[in-house]
Amino acid sequence: MFEKLRIKEHMEIAGSDGEHVGTVDKVEGEQIKLTKTDAADHQHHYIALDQIDRIEDNRIYLKVTKAEAKTIVA
């Protein structure tokens, strides 16, 4: 299990396949708010903390691939 406090602004978020999913803007409650710059619609999107597998080398890895993450990012 990871510590929520280890999540920092501008950390990269990657899928389980290592592909770039987004960049952390900030943590809000039990979700990570992603920066607008990674979104095609230039809006903030969120991903639940329970989707995180691990934090390694200043990078957050999800339990799902990039393609799967697109279906769970709100």
Return the pLDDT at 40.
84
Measured CA to CA, the distance from residue 65 to residue 4 in angstroms comes to 21
H helical segments located in 1-74: 66-72
Residue 2: per-residue pLDDT: 60
Q: How far apart are the first and last CA of the chain?
A: 23
Superfamily of domain 4-72, CATH level 4: Photosynthetic Reaction Center, subunit H, domain 2 (3.90.50.10)
The answer to whether residues 31 and 48 touch, using CB atoms and an 8 Å cutoff, is yes
Give the global pTM. Answer: 0.90
> pLDDT by residue (tens digit) across 14-64?
999 999 999 999 999 999 999 999 888 899 999 999 999 999 999 999 999
Tokens read off for 51: 């989707």
Is 70 or 24 the better-scoring residue by pLDDT?
Answer: 24
Distance CA 40, CA 28 (A): 22
